[in-house]
Amino acid sequence: MIKYLLDKYMIESIGVISLNIDIGSKIRLLRKDLNMSITDLAKSAELSTGLISQIERNIVVPSVASLWKVAKSLNVSIGYFFDEENKVAVNPIVKRENRKKIMTSNSSAIYELLTPNLNRKIEFLHIILEKDDSSTKELITHEGEECGIVLEGKLLVKTANGDYILEEGDSIYFDSTVPHRYINIGDKTCTSIWAMTPPSF
């Protein structure tokens, strides 16, 4: 397995800076189980065949956007690729200091898991956005629905159907198939809680 330095996509427990994960092999096995060629997967995910081949051979680490597309084409969530190999009993309580974090290379946004892991039917996240930062650089879309509430700061939820400004205590619900992203438009750190089903990570 390749040890990634979490500079492209990172999931960590506090104090841990790397994981042994083999995304490429999981993608290849899923693709073959679905009787898909690399060309089929590339076409479905709207990515190049060369990129899919490199990802499967662990030559490159896919961006979150690319991994989203691949996961959708293979009918799994992103969490599938990071799920622990050994299934053990999981403590249903997540202590604040033990929250796992997800970070991406194109944003300083921090996503803290409020569930023990990503292998759940509902994704429950605590999102931290610094001033002027956003969840993604472009609008994204995925299956399902989501709702969120702002705990602190001021958040712009930008969607293809319109823009919505949320202040402390405000909440929102929308269909995740509508292109969207979150932007901190306040003068301080913005923190919010989000629930999504099915999971998008």
Rounded to an integer, what distance in angstroms lies between the CA atom of residue 143 and that of residue 76? 11
Which pTM value belongs to this model? 0.66
- Tokens 């996240």 appear where? 125
Strand, helix or coil for residue 18: coil
Query: Is 74:52 a contact under the CB 8 Å cutoff?
Result: no
Q: Per residue of the chain (201 residues), give pLDDT as tens.
A: 222 323 333 433 332 223 446 788 889 999 999 999 999 999 999 999 999 999 999 888 777 778 888 988 998 877 777 665 445 556 889 999 988 887 766 667 899 999 887 777 899 999 999 999 998 888 888 889 999 999 999 999 999 999 999 999 999 999 999 999 999 999 999 999 999 998 877
